[in-house]
C-alpha cells in the first residue's frame, strides 16, 4: 500500500505558505499563481494553520469582507488535521472524508514536509487499481 512519503516523493518538494499577518489577497494571489486550492500558514518554522479557497469563500466573500484589509490569521483554519509520512493512502482517504477536508499537511516531528490533496490520494488509488488490473490480466493470459 502506498504511503504519504511515496506520494510526496512524486511531487514537487516546494511547499507554498504565507505568514499569519499576510493580507488574504496575497494568499489568494499565491494560490492562483500556483494553481493550488490551499496554502499553509507558517509562523516561521511553525505550522499555524491552513487557508483554503473554501475559507476564502465562506469567511470573506459571503461576509462581504475585504481581502486587502483582512489578515490570513483572521480566517485561516487553525485546528489542523495532519498526517505523518508513514500514513497509508487508505488512512488519509478516511481522514479527509471524516473531516470533510481537501488538503492534508504532512508533518514529521513538528517539521512540515509537504501537503497532499484529495486529488493526490484519488490518483494513487486509481494508479494502484490499474496496476492490479494489469497484473491480473497478465496472470490470466499466462495461465
pLDDT digits (tens, 9 = 90+) for 93-138: 999 999 999 999 999 999 999 999 999 999 999 988 888 888 878 8
Beta bridge partners of 117: 103
Grid cell, residue 107, equals 508533518
Question: Which domains are present in the chain?
Answer: 4-142 (3.10.580.10)
pTM assigned to the model: 0.88
**According to the model, what pLDDT value does residue 143 have?**
66
Spell out the alpha helix ranges (H) of the chain. Answer: 4-9, 24-34, 53-56, 72-75, 89-99, 118-142
Amino acid at each position: 500500500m502506498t504511503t504519504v512519503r511515496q506520494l510526496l516523493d512524486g511531487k514537487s518538494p516546494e511547499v507554498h505558505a504565507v505568514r499569519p499577518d499576510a493580507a488574504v489577497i496575497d494568499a489568494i494571489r499565491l494560490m492562483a499563481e500556483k494553481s493550488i486550492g490551499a496554502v499553509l500558514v507558517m509562523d516561521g518554522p511553525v505550522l499555524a494553520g491552513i487557508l483554503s479557497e473554501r475559507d476564502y469563500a465562506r469567511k470573506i466573500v459571503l461576509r462581504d469582507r475585504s481581502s486587502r484589509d483582512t489578515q490570513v490569521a483572521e480566517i485561516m483554519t487553525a485546528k489542523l488535521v495532519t498526517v505523518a509520512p508513514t500514513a497509508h493512502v487508505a488512512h488519509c482517504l478516511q481522514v479527509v472524508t471524516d473531516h470533510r477536508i481537501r488538503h492534508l499537511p504532512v508533518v514529521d516531528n513538528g517539521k512540515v514536509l509537504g501537503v497532499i490533496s484529495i486529488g493526490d490520494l484519488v490518483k494513487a488509488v486509481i494508479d494502484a487499481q490499474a496496476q492490479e488490473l494489469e497484473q491480473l490480466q497478465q496472470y490470466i493470459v499466462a495461465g
